[in-house]
Amino acid sequence: MALVMENLTRFGRIECSQVNASGACYPKHTHEEYVISANLSGVERIWYNGRQQEVLSGEVTLYNPMTVQSSEFCGEGAQFISLHLDEQQVRSILDQTTHDNGLPAFQEGNIRDSALFGSILDLHEQLHSSSRDEALLVLFSELARFRSTPDTSGEPLRVAHLIRFMKANLYEAIELEDLCAEANLSRFHLVRSFKAEKNLPPMQYFKQLRLIEARRRLRLGDAPARIAVELGFFDQAHLSNAFRKVMGASPSSYSSMLGVAR
């Protein structure tokens, strides 16, 4: 059973990796970026926002920022190329043609589209060539076809407030009771309402925000041991285990593949 990130390249605010998964899974988690992947081989069963789908070879998965997702890999596993696209960069590029000041939202889940699939593969092949920027723009032009109307219903004010509170206190020893006091809700009502909106219980969501912060600091060259202590993980092994489940690589391997100097 293994989930292995074979290579990782970062350019600008975009990360591109190739991952092999065999008898493994991604537990429920989320990312701050858009995540788009091309399935090269095998079958992946995905879950997001209460939906379940199968993704076959030649198909694409797409998630908007902070969508809670999970997946498992069937049979002999799967191989895929994954892109993490910075939300501000996506907005800035698309707004050159759409003149829309809102954060773009896209059709999520399984997409079978040969042009979009091919544009991901082409970008991966051109990562270290002079054609990379053009390949990226081609990807964005294909991606724009799947732009959807953002959900304007909004989330309950208390859930939105709690997320702002979490982000402002990533380095504090926050417990469930602290969130209850902040939202003025009982433990039961807090967990029920938060999970209904975000598909994760509040403390699990808080852990995902901390992992996002850990990844940001790793890119800056901070040591995993120091990050683990400051972000409230039991120890470096605890951070490494949680990080690997989401990224398919340990914090140290992630830094090494990016060529980050410490």
Residue 261: band (very low, low, confident or very high) from pLDDT cuts 50, 70, 90: low
The answer to whether residues 45 and 53 touch, using CB atoms and an 8 Å cutoff, is yes
Q: Do 132 and 162 belong together in one domain? A: no
Q: Of 105, 129, 148, which marks where a domain is finished?
A: 148
* pLDDT per position as a tens digit, 113-124: 999 999 999 999
What torsion, rounded to 10 degrees, do the Cα atoms 117, 48, 244, 135 define?
A: 20
In this prediction, residue 152 carries a pLDDT of 47
CATH number for the domain harbouring residue 175 = 1.10.10.60
- Average pLDDT, whole number, for the chain? 90
Mean pLDDT of 40-63: 96
In this prediction, residue 153 carries a pLDDT of 47
Q: Domain containing 8: what range?
A: 2-148
Q: Do 185 and 75 belong together in one domain? A: no
In this prediction, residue 99 carries a pLDDT of 45
Which of 254, 249, 253 is CA-nearest to residue 24?
249
Mean pLDDT of 152-163: 74
Q: Do 136 and 15 belong together in one domain? A: yes
Q: Do 121 and 246 belong together in one domain? A: no
Q: Do 108 and 210 belong together in one domain? A: no
Q: Of 99, 121, 148, which marks where a domain is finished?
A: 148
Q: Do 251 and 135 belong together in one domain? A: no
Is the pLDDT assigned to residue 149 strictly greater than 80?
Answer: no
Q: Do 50 and 75 belong together in one domain? A: yes
Q: Do 121 and 241 belong together in one domain? A: no
